[in-house]
Amino acid sequence: MSEHRVALVTAGASGIGRAIAERLLADGISVHICDINETALHACTNELVGITGSCCDVSDATQVEGLFAEMATHYDRLDILINNAGIAGPTASVEDIAPEDWDRTIAVDLNSAFYVTRLAAPLLKKSGGSIVNMASNAALFGFPLRSPYTAAKWAIIGLTKTWAMELGPDGVNVNALCPGSVNGPRIENVINKDAKERGVSPNEIRDVYQRQSSMRLFVDAEDIAETVRFLCSPAGHSISGQALGIDGHTEGLSNWLG
């Protein structure tokens, strides 16, 4: 059996997933990432020493089976599962959402967590490991113009509580994180696009967005990664079944994209 703990981070080649992978690696944990974007995956596995990776669309159950077969050629254990994959899906009012866009968002944001966890659970039960599911603070409130995203993320919290009950007796803790908007190119693109459409400055739009949070902030991916590290460490192991906001405290999301 491998000496080091082993983690799987889905959608780990960029964004929050990559920050988590880097944080776990820094703790001496062996990390396997998967990502749908082959270029980003290879860039990540080339840049980070000690990381392994598989190209995989986690919304496809067959590809997820291939992912576990490939992981088994590197590792004989799994201690940490980070169900991080998620897309924003359509930004549109309910009457304007196409069923195929609904289905794709649910597939990536919800079905993927089931496909991965059903194969990870036997390994995690053996190691008494940890699962962290990436939800969103949209899972704590309604989020106008984001129906499928909100539905999937609320369901992720339901699964978190269910899996905490199912796997807890085998020593597995299961939690969900609910970040607010994260600092980085994604939020900057949204801000710039919105500012252009409304004919106002990006700073005005940034201010409106940040006022969603009591602390008037966007979150750093590294802070999310640090929380993951804690929940997957012995010190965080008795915390389970929780949906933890990482958003500078937000009481609700207004129609800010409308």
Choices 46-54, 57-65, 208-216, 237-245; region in contact with ligand NAD by CB under 6 A: 57-65
- Is residue 17 a contact point for ligand NAD (CB under 6 A)? yes
Structure tokens at 92: 């549109």
- Is residue 53 a contact point for ligand NAD (CB under 6 A)? no
3-state DSSP call for residue 175?
strand
For residue 182, what are the CA distances in angstroms to 76, 120, 222?
34, 28, 10
Tell me whether residue 123 or residue 225 sits nearer to ligand NAD (CB atom): 225
Q: Which residue has the tokens 């966007």?
A: 218
Tell me whether residue 188 or residue 207 sits nearer to ligand NAD (CB atom): 188
| Per-position b or e across 8-23, b if 16+ CB within 10 A of its CB | bbbbbbbbbbbbbbbb
3-state DSSP call for residue 248?
coil
Q: Rule CB under 6 A: choose which of 21, 29, 36, 81 binds ligand NAD.
A: 36
Choices 78-86, 122-130, 162-170, 196-204; region in contact with ligand NAD by CB under 6 A: 78-86
- Is residue 40 a contact point for ligand NAD (CB under 6 A)? yes
- Is residue 179 a contact point for ligand NAD (CB under 6 A)? yes
On whether the CB atoms of residues 1 and 76 are closer than 8 A, the answer is: yes
- Is residue 30 a contact point for ligand NAD (CB under 6 A)? no
- Is residue 186 a contact point for ligand NAD (CB under 6 A)? yes
Residues 6+ apart with CB under 8 A from 48: 21, 22, 25, 31
Q: Rule CB under 6 A: choose which of 136, 147, 173, 213 binds ligand NAD.
A: 136
Structure tokens at 166: 């199912």
Phi, psi (rounded to 5 degrees) for 86? -175, 145
Tell me whether residue 164 or residue 219 sits nearer to ligand NAD (CB atom): 219
Q: Rule CB under 6 A: choose which of 7, 16, 121, 231 binds ligand NAD.
A: 16
Tell me whether residue 75 is one of the annotated catalytic residues: no
Phi, psi (rounded to 5 degrees) for 243? -115, 105
Smallest separation (angstroms) from ligand NAD to the CB of 128: 25
Smallest separation (angstroms) from ligand NAD to the CB of 224: 8
Please report, as residue ranges, which positions from 89 to 118 form the binding site for ligand NAD (by CB under 6 A): 108
Q: Rule CB under 6 A: choose which of 22, 57, 79, 194 binds ligand NAD.
A: 57
Q: How would DSSP label each residue in 32-66?
A: EEEES-HHHHHHHHHHSTTEEEEE--TT-HHHHHH
- E strand spans, the chain: 6-10, 30-35, 51-55, 80-83, 130-134, 173-179, 243-246
Tell me whether residue 37 or residue 91 sits nearer to ligand NAD (CB atom): 37
Residues interacting with ligand NAD, by CB under 6 A?
11, 13-17, 35-37, 40, 56-59, 84-87, 108, 134, 136, 179, 181-182, 186-187
Residues labelled as active-site residues: 149
